[in-house]
C-alpha cells in the first residue's frame, strides 16, 4: 500500500510573506537612515554656516591688513596705500601660492570643479585639510585685492566639512556624497541668504538628481546654515532693490530681454574662454608653481592702479559688490562717476572687460576664489550697458538700465555655469524682486542655449574634462523606474511540471533555448523554479531519470509582482545573483502570471531608449 503524501505548504506563499516582511524591514531601515541623515545634515549646516561667517570676517580682516577698506557692503573699495597698492595682490598671491603648493593643491582655482570631481570620481571624498587651506588661501587672495568671489571657496569649504563627517563615520559612498552636497548648499545659503538657490545649485551641479533621500538633508542643511548666518548678520538681502523694476510693456520689452540673453551668453563665453587661456598661459611659464599667483597678482595690481588713476575707483579688486549696487540702484546712478549717457555706456562696457581680464589673471595664475561674484559683476555691467543702449535708441520705453543690469547678472551666470534654475532662483532671493521674473527667466534660458550651441563645456566642466573626468548635465530619468514588470514579462510562459523527468526538461531547453523555467504542480500552481544550470548538473550526476521536483529551487524562492518596477526587479536580480524571476499575482501569490529574465529587461530598455532618441525633426 502506497503511503499517501501529506500536502506541503506552498513555498510561494512563504516567499510572499518573507517578501512582505523584507519590505517592512526596508521601510523601517529607510526611516532610520532618513532620521540619521537629517541630524547629520544639521551638523553639516552648522559647520558650513560657521565657516561662511568666519570666512567673511577673515576676508574683511585680511583686507584691512593689506590696506583695503570700505564704508559698507555697497561702498567702493578704498586703500591708504596710494600708488603702492599694486603690491598688495602680489604679496597675497605669493602667500596663496605657498599655501596651495605646500598643503593642498585642490585649493587652487575656483573650487566648484574640485567638488564636482570628488562627487563623480572619488565617492564624495575630500581631504579634510582642503577646507582649512581653502578658507585661508581664498580669504588672503580676496582680502589682498584678488578679483574673485566668495561662492566657490565656501562651496568647497562646506563640501569638505560634509565629506569629512561622512568619512569619519564610515558612511556608504552615496551618503557621503549626500553630505558633501549638503555642505555645498549650506555654504551658499549662509553666504548669500539664498537657501532655495543654494539647494538648486547642489541639485543642478553637484548631485545631479532629485530624490527624497538627498533632498530632505539638502533642505535641512541649507535652512540650518541660513539660521546661523541670520544669528550673526541678521536677515540681509544681498541687493535690496525689491519691486523697483517691473515689466510694464511685455510685447515691446520681451524681445529686448531675449536679445540681452544672447548678448549675455556671448559675454559668458568670452569670460570662460579668456579664463582658461590665461590658465594655459600661466601653466606654460617656466617658474615654480608657488610664484605664479604672485605674478598674476602683480599684473592685477598694475591694472587696478591704472583703473584707479583713470576711473577714480579700484573697480577690479575684490568681489565687486560695491560696484554692482550702484549699477542696479536707479537712485544712485551718479555714484558710478559718469556724467553723460555715452560716457556711462563706455564705462559699463569697460568695466565688463576689465572684470573678465582681472578675474582671468587672478584665477588663471593659480589664485583661490570663486567665479560667481565676477559673473554677477560682468552681467551687471553688460546688462547695464545694454540698458543704456536701449534708452538711447528707444527713449520712449520707461525702463531704467538697472533693470537690464539685474537680468544680465543672472543671464551671464546661467551662461557660464548652465545652472539656469539656480541663476533664476538665487537672483530672486538676492534681490527680493519678483516683478521682473519673466524677463529674467527668458534671458537665462536664452543665454544657456547660446553657450550650449557654442561650447559643450562650462566654466566648471572645462576644468573637469581637462583632468579626464567626464561630466554631463544631460541626466535622463531612469527608464527602468518608469516601466512595470507586467509590461516586460513573458506572459505565455513555458513551464515544467513537477512530475517531469530531468531528461525531458533538458530536451525542452535544447529545443526552446530558454535558460530557466517556473515549475508548477498538477493543479497549475507555482512551486519552484529550475534553471539550465540545475539541469546540467543533474545530468552530469546521473539524475537524468529523476523528477524535476528533486532539483528545483523551492527554498528562498524569489518572486516579483506585475506592478513592481523593472528597477526593483533588477535590484533583486543583482542582489540575489539571479537571471530569472517568476511573476505572481498579489491577490493569488501562488498563481503564476508571467516570467521575467534579464534579457527581457534589456530588450525593453533598448526599445524605450530608442523611442526617446526619436524626435519629430
Task: Tell me the CA distances in angstroms from 457 to 350, 367, 576, 577, one per residue in order.
Answer: 26, 22, 41, 39
Identify the three-state secondary structure at position 370: strand
Q: What are phi and psi of 595, to 5 degrees?
A: -140, 135
Q: Average pLDDT in the 72-96 region?
A: 85
| HSE value, Cβ hemisphere, 13 Å, CA-based, for 608 | 18
**What confidence tens digit (pLDDT) does each residue in 142-187 have?**
999 989 988 888 888 899 999 999 999 888 888 888 899 999 999 9
- Please give the Cα distance from 579 to 113 (Å, whole number): 40
DSSP string covering 447-485, please? HHHHHHHH-S--TTHHHHHHTT----S-PPP-GGGGSBH
H/E stretch holding 565? none
CATH dotted code for 250-466 = 1.10.3080.10
- Please give the Cα distance from 106 to 329 (Å, whole number): 38
Q: What percent of the chain lies above the pLDDT cut of 90?
A: 27
Kindly report the pTM of this predicted structure.
0.79
The pLDDT of residue 350: 92
| 361, 307 contact by CB (below 8 A) | no
123-132, 143-152, 269-278: the lowest-pLDDT one: 123-132
Burial degree of 122 (CB within 10 A; 0-12, 13-18, 19+): middle
Residues near 434 by Cβ (< 8 Å), separated by ≥ 6? 243, 428
- Please give the Cα distance from 342 to 361 (Å, whole number): 29
Task: Provide CATH 1.10.3080.10 ranges for the chain.
Answer: 30-233, 250-466
Q: Compute how many other C-beta atoms are within 10 angstroms of the C-beta atom of residue 84.
A: 12
Angle between helices 292-311 and 87-103 (to 10 degrees): 160
- Please give the Cα distance from 238 to 398 (Å, whole number): 26
Task: Provide CATH 3.10.580.10 ranges for the chain.
Answer: 479-613
Exposure string for 317-343, b = 16+ CB within 10 A, e = fewer: bbbbbbbbbbbbbeeebebbebeeeee
- Please give the Cα distance from 149 to 376 (Å, whole number): 10
Average pLDDT for the chain: 82
The pLDDT of residue 333: 60
Q: Is the dihedral of CA 302, 307, 310, 312 positive or negative?
A: negative
The pLDDT of residue 556: 65
**What confidence tens digit (pLDDT) does each residue in 500-540 have?**
777 777 777 766 656 677 777 777 677 777 776 777 777 77
Higher pLDDT, 33 or 473: 33
Outline where DSSP puts E strands in 154-297.
Answer: none
| 195, 184 contact by CB (below 8 A) | no
The pLDDT of residue 129: 86
DSSP string covering 25-88, please? HHHHHHHHHHHHHHHHHHHHHHHHHHHHHHHHHHHHHHHHHTTEE-SSTTS--EESSGGGGGHH
Q: Find out if CATH 1.20.1050.10 is the number for domain 30-233.
A: no
Nearest to 375 by CA among 403, 409, 402, 404: 409
Q: Which CATH architecture has domain 479-613?
A: Roll (3.10)
pLDDT over 60 at 118, yes or no: yes
**Chain Cα centroid distance, residue 603:** 31
Q: Average pLDDT in the 88-104 region?
A: 90
| 403, 428 contact by CB (below 8 A) | no
Identify the three-state secondary structure at position 584: strand
Q: What is the CA radius of gyration of the chain?
A: 31
- Please give the Cα distance from 441 to 434 (Å, whole number): 11
DSSP-derived letter for residue 205 is I
H/E stretch holding 373? helix 372-393
pLDDT band at 474 (very low <50, low <70, confident <90, very high): low
- Please give the Cα distance from 466 to 458 (Å, whole number): 12
Identify the three-state secondary structure at position 543: coil
Angle at 225 between CA 224 and CA 226, to 5 degrees: 90
Strongest mean pLDDT among 12-26, 298-312, 424-438, 483-497: 298-312
Report strand pairing: 516-520 vs 496-497: parallel
pLDDT band at 616 (very low <50, low <70, confident <90, very high): very low
166-170, 419-423, 485-489, 588-592: the lowest-pLDDT one: 588-592
Amino acid at each position: 500500500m502506497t503511503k499517501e503524501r501529506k500536502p506541503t505548504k506552498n513555498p510561494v506563499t512563504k516567499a510572499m510573506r518573507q517578501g512582505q516582511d523584507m519590505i517592512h524591514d526596508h521601510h523601517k531601515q529607510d526611516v532610520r537612515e532618513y532620521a540619521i541623515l537629517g541630524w547629520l545634515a544639521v551638523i553639516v549646516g552648522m559647520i558650513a554656516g560657521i565657516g561662511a561667517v568666519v570666512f567673511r570676517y577673515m576676508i574683511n580682516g585680511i583686507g584691512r591688513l593689506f590696506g583695503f577698506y570700505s564704508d559698507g557692503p555697497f561702498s567702493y573699495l578704498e586703500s591708504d596705500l596710494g600708488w603702492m597698492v599694486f603690491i598688495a595682490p602680489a604679496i597675497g598671491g605669493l602667500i596663496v601660492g605657498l599655501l596651495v603648493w605646500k598643503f593642498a593643491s585642490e585649493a587652487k582655482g575656483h573650487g566648484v570643479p574640485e567638488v564636482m570631481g570628488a562627487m563623480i570620481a572619488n565617492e564624495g571624498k575630500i581631504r579634510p585639510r582642503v577646507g582649512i587651506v581653502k578658507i585661508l588661501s581664498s580669504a588672503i587672495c580676496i582680502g589682498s585685492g584678488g578679483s574673485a568671489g566668495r561662492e566657490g571657496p565656501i562651496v568647497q569649504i562646506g563640501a569638505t566639512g560634509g565629506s569629512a563627517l561622512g568619512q569619519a563615520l564610515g558612511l556608504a559612498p552615496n551618503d557621503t556624497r549626500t553630505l558633501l552636497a549638503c555642505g555645498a548648499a549650506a555654504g551658499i545659503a549662509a553666504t548669500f541668504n539664498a537657501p532655495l538657490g543654494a539647494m538648486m545649485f547642489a541639485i543642478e551641479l553637484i548631485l545631479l538628481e532629485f530624490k527624497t533621500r538627498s533632498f530632505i538633508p539638502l533642505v535641512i542643511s541649507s535652512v540650518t546654515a541660513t539660521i546661523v548666518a541670520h544669528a550673526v548678520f541678521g536677515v540681509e538681502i544681498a541687493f535690496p532693490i525689491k519691486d523697483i523694476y517691473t515689466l510694464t510693456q511685455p510685447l515691446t520689452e520681451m524681445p529686448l530681454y531675449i536679445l540681452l540673453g544672447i548678448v549675455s551668453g556671448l559675454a559668458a563665453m568670452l569670460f570662460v574662454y579668456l579664463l582658461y587661456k590665461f590658465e594655459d598661459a600661466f601653466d606654460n611659464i617656466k617658474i615654480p608653481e608657488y610664484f605664479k599667483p604672485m605674478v598674476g597678482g602683480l599684473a592685477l595690481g598694475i591694472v587696478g592702479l591704472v583703473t584707479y588713476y583713470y576711473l577714480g575707483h579700484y573697480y577690479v579688486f575684490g568681489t565687486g559688490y560695491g560696484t554692482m549696487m550702484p549699477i542696479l540702484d536707479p537712485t544712485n546712478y551718479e555714484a558710478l562717476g559718469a556724467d553723460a549717457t555715452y560716457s556711462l555706456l563706455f564705462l559699463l562696457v569697460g568695466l565688463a572687460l576689465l572684470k573678465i581680464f582681472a578675474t582671468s589673471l587672478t584665477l588663471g595664475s593659480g589664485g583661490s576664489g570663486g567665479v560667481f561674484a565676477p559673473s554677477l559683476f560682468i552681467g551687471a555691467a553688460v546688462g547695464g550697458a545694454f540698458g543704456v543702449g536701449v534708452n538711447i535708441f528707444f527713449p520712449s520705453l520707461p525702463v531704467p538700465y538697472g533693470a537690464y543690469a539685474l537680468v544680465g547678472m543672472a543671464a551671464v551666470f546661467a551662461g557660464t555655469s548652465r545652472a539656469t534654475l539656480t541663476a533664476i532662483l538665487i537672483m530672486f532671493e538676492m534681490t527680493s524682486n519678483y516683478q521682473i521674473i519673466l524677463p529674467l527667466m527668458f534671458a537665462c534660458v536664452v543665454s544657456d542655449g547660446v553657450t550650449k550651441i557654442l561650447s559643450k563645456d562650462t566654466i566648471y566642466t572645462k576644468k573637469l574634462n581637462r583632468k579626464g573626468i567626464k561630466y554631463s548635465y544631460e541626466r535622463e530619468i531612469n527608464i527602468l523606474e518608469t516601466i512595470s514588470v507586467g509590461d516586460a514579462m513573458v506572459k505565455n510562459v513555458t513551464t515544467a511540471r513537477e512530475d517531469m523527468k530531468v531528461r525531458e526538461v533538458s530536451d525542452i531547453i535544447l529545443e526552446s533555448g530558454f535558460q530557466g523555467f517556473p515549475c508548477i504542480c498538477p493543479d497549475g500552481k507555482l512551486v519552484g523554479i529550475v534553471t539550465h544550470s540545475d539541469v546540467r548538473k543533474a545530468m552530469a550526476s546521473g539524475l537524468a531519470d529523476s523528477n524535476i521536483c528533486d532539483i528545483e529551487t523551492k527554498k528562498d524562492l524569489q518572486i516579483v509582482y506585475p506592478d513592481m518596477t523593472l528597477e526593483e526587479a533588477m535590484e533583486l536580480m543583482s542582489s540575489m545573483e539571479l537571471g530569472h524571476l517568476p511573476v505572481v499575482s498579489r491577490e493569488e501569490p501562488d498563481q503564476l502570471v508571467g516570467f521575467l529574465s534579464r534579457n527581457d529587461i534589456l530588450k525593453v530598455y533598448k526599445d524605450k531608449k530608442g523611442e526617446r532618441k526619436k524626435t519629430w525633426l
